[in-house]
Amino acid sequence: MIRAIIEAPMPVIAAVNGAAYAGGCELALGCDFIYAARKARFALTEVTIGIMPGAGGTQNLPRAVGLRRAKEVLLTGSPFTAESAYEWGMVNRLCEPGSVVQDAVQTATVIAANAPISIRQAKRSMHHGIDMSLADGMLFEVEAYNRMVPTKDRREGIASFNEKRRPVFKGR
């Protein structure tokens, strides 16, 4: 399931409104970004019961917060606050209680108004390029860009810009 979320062509936003422990934390980490209520708490507690994270926690947490911080979090199993997760770069936005889903949907609406092919290609380019050298990542990006050149959405985007109107994308 986590791999399906990570590989989803369109962005997935986690909206955490309470406790995201163990698998819940891993589920949030598998999303493209995380919005959390200020009262939310996170933890990867698996080591406290004789197991370890098995749904991407050992891979996604270090990528989000850095290796040293991730080691501390993973090896102690200690909970941490949404504020800490925000300071560490794991959480993108702290939300007021009760508004986290609304805030996530608002961002999703903005993303959904953009060209779907562009969103998919940009996400794919970031996701795969981050594990490449800068030079290889740049080549990957150019290839992703070139896949959009013949699309109707690209032509619509340019036409709408020139005509000073909002584009109407069809995903083609």
9, 78: one domain: yes
Domains contained in the chain, number = 2
Confidence of residue 31 (pLDDT cuts 50, 70, 90): very high
Supply the pLDDT for residue 105.
Answer: 96
SS3 166: coil
95, 26: one domain: yes
Residue 83 lies in a domain: yes
| Structural tokens at position 124 | 């794919």
How many Cα atoms occupy the beta-carbon half-sphere of 90 within 13 Å?
32
Residue 143 lies in a domain: yes
Q: What is the pLDDT of residues 71-123, one digit of tens each?
A: 999 999 999 999 999 999 999 999 998 999 999 999 999 999 999 999 999 99
Supply the pLDDT for residue 114.
Answer: 92
Confidence of residue 27 (pLDDT cuts 50, 70, 90): very high
Residue 169 lies in a domain: no
Is the predicted pLDDT of residue 24 greater than 90, yes or no?
yes
Q: Which domain holds residue 59?
A: 2-111
Last residue of one domain, picked from the residues 75, 95, 111: 111
29, 106: one domain: yes
Last residue of one domain, picked from the residues 111, 129, 145: 111
pTM over 0.85: yes
Confidence of residue 171 (pLDDT cuts 50, 70, 90): confident
Residue 72 lies in a domain: yes
Supply the pLDDT for residue 107.
Answer: 96
Q: How far apart are CA 109 and CA 161, in angstroms?
A: 20
59, 73: one domain: yes
Q: What is the percentage of the chain residues whose pLDDT exceeds 90?
A: 83
Residue 40 lies in a domain: yes
The CATH number linked to 56 is 3.90.226.10
Q: How far apart are CA 153 and CA 171, in angstroms?
A: 6
How many Cα atoms occupy the beta-carbon half-sphere of 43 within 13 Å?
13
